[in-house]
């Protein structure tokens, strides 16, 4: 078991975003987390990756408890997530964005900008990732000038630049055209195999992407696990299909009053 979560609870004031969520991720799995707006998907990713501390529950990575451990330390341990570095550093070039991730991976964060400019190891490692994600020809393009599909690729590539054992992605194809969505996921899957990533967890709204690429789907509703199974099991579950597809507005309207 590479990642385990036990009875996670997370509140925002009186609102209960996670209500006793338990999850196990094994090596070799591509898991999609789905659910209507307000179901707790992004909160779950944020708790698993240490951006948020749970009010209750525990998280284990390779049988080591990591509850509340921050994302920087987790990245060094082998867990990474996309951080939308394009939004954080829109004035950097593609290769420079990847260098930011590589610098943290190889332990040179104390001299970030010196490393970006002069460190050959950092440059070579960043160039390898750019090639892997089909961004080599655009490595000198400003990140903010990339098409939306390439921006998403760059966000994902920055997480892959950490060479993690497990990667967590929050809506890696949001805002991307249907054609580019498939491109992003195809490259993501190919890169994960070449780098040797052991597991992928993604939050994704596009059901075509979810059913087309996932080996397993976890459906959340009102902060709880509604279902957890193979795509064919989820597709055959009428309650899950109705909840994920047909009750988005209803879920949003309940957000203010839900409590654990």
Q: Which residues contact 125 (CB under 8 A, 6 or more apart)?
A: 102, 105, 106, 161
The predicted model scores a pTM of 0.86
Nearest-CA neighbor of 172 among 143, 137, 134, 201? 201
The whole-angstrom separation of Cα 27 and Cα 152 is 25
Over residues 175-187, the pLDDT tens digits come to 888 888 998 899 9
Architecture of the domain spanning 1-70+199-260: 3-Layer(aba) Sandwich (3.40)
CA 194, 123, 142 angle in degrees (round to 5)?
Answer: 95
Give residue-wise pLDDT tens across range 167-177: 999 888 888 88
Where helices occur in 177-247 by DSSP H, the ranges are: 178-195, 207-213, 231-235, 238-246
Cβ partners under 8 Å of residue 255, min gap 6: 15, 38
> What pLDDT score was predicted for residue 18?
98
Residue 82 or residue 62, greater confidence: 62
Residue 255 tokens, joined: 């957000």
- Pick 44 or 122 by higher pLDDT: 44
Domain ranges of the chain: 1-70+199-260
Decide: helix, strand or coil at residue 90: coil
């Amino acid at each position: 078991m590479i990642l385990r979560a036990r009875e996670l609870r997370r509140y925002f004031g009186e609102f209960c975003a996670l209500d006793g969520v338990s999850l196990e991720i094994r090596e070799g799995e591509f898991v999609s987390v789905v659910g209507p707006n307000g179901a707790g998907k992004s909160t779950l990713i944020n708790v698993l990756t240490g951006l948020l501390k749970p009010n209750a529950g525990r998280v284990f990575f390779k049988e080591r408890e990591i509850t509340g451990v921050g994302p920087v330390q987790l990245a060094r341990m082998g867990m990474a997530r996309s951080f939308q570095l394009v939004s954080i550093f829109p004035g950097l070039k593609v290769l420079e964005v990847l260098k930011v991730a590589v610098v943290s991976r190889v332990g040179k964060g104390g001299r970030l900008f010196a490393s970006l400019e002069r460190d050959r190891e950092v440059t070579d490692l960043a160039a390898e990732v750019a090639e892997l994600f089909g961004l080599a020809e655009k490595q000198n393009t400003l990140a903010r000038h990339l098409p939306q599909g390439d921006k998403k690729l760059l966000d994902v590539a920055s997480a892959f630049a950490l060479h993690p054992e497990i990667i967590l992605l929050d809506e890696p194809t949001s805002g991307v055209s249907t054609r580019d969505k498939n491109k992003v996921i195809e490259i993501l899957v190919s890169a994960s195999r070449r780098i040797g990533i052991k597991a992928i967890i993604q939050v994704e709204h596009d059901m075509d992407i979810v059913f087309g690429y996932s080996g397993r789907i976890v459906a959340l509703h009102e902060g709880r696990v509604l279902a957890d199974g193979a795509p064919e099991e989820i597709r055959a579950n009428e309650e899950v299909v109705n909840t994920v597809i047909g009750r988005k507005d209803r879920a949003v309207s309940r957000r203010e009053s839900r409590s654990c």
